């Protein structure tokens, strides 16, 4: 038995779901805005930058929180390969959350654009004005975004497999959490209960 928590810290769970909504919305906004020359282009563009920077700020809060509060152990019966894949995808998810807004910011800097968050509020450039660099980062912004979306789908499928098929409490650790056992650590029966009513996560 380890003394690691059975659930993610409540604050981490709140940030997770908030960011899930924001990131998913941003990916749709991003591919949507570049697809059109219509009025929606500028409407979505005006949303894209402030939401992107908000995501960056949230992940800067979330990453230390996650490192400080830790993560629950994965079920012991999960094959080692799956455990490694789980760990790897989470590292990549954090890298994308951090990297995509930074690439966006850097890309606008290299393109000589003002990094306007809203009318009247602009961020300083983080790279020198360089067109070749801009071209590279602009391409990277798209590629990383598409990979991020694919990664989110993998993450989502894995979470639902844990919640609906394995019913091993992994999904619950990021949603409502587990009921606190009265005394001591959870018994195997509690942890791996197969009663559908008790394990609807």
Please give the residue ranges that form the binding site for other proteins (CB under 8 A).
27-28, 31-32, 34-42, 45, 111-114, 116, 119-120, 122, 129-132, 134-135, 138-139, 149, 153, 156-157, 160-161, 164-168, 192, 194
Rounded to a whole number of angstroms, the minimum distance from the CB of residue 70 to other proteins is 26
DSSP 8-state secondary structure symbol assigned to residue 76: T
Rounded to a whole number of angstroms, the minimum distance from the CB of residue 148 to other proteins is 11
Rounded to a whole number of angstroms, the minimum distance from the CB of residue 6 to other proteins is 18
- Gap between the Cα atoms of 144 and 54, Å rounded: 18
* Beta-bridge partner residues of 116: 122
* Dihedral Cα 94, 100, 102, 104, nearest 10 deg: -170
Mapped onto helix, strand or coil, the DSSP state of residue 124 is: coil
Q: Which is nearer to other proteins, 63 or 126 (CB)?
A: 126
Mapped onto helix, strand or coil, the DSSP state of residue 115 is: strand
Q: Which is nearer to other proteins, 81 or 132 (CB)?
A: 132
């Amino acid at each position: 038995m380890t003394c690691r928590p059975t659930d993610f810290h409540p604050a981490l769970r709140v940030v997770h779901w908030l960011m899930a909504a924001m990131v998913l919305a941003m990916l749709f906004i991003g591919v949507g805005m570049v697809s059109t020359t219509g009025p929606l282009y500028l409407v979505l563009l005006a949303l894209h930058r402030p939401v992107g920077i908000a995501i960056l700020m949230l992940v800067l809060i979330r990453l230390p929180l996650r490192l400080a509060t830790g993560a629950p152990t994965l079920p012991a019966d999960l094959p080692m390969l799956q455990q490694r894949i789980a760990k790897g995808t989470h590292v990549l998810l954090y890298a994308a959350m951090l990297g995509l807004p930074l690439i966006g910011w850097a890309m606008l800097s290299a393109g000589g654009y003002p990094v306007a968050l809203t009318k009247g509020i602009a961020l300083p450039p983080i790279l020198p004005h360089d067109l070749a660099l801009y071209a590279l980062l602009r391409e990277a912004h798209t590629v990383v975004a598409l990979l991020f979306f694919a990664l989110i789908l993998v993450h989502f499928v894995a979470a639902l497999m844990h919640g609906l098929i394995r019913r091993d409490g992994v999904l619950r650790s990021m949603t409502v959490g587990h009921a606190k056992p009265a005394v001591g650590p959870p018994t195997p029966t509690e942890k791996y209960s197969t009663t559908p009513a008790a394990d609807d996560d």
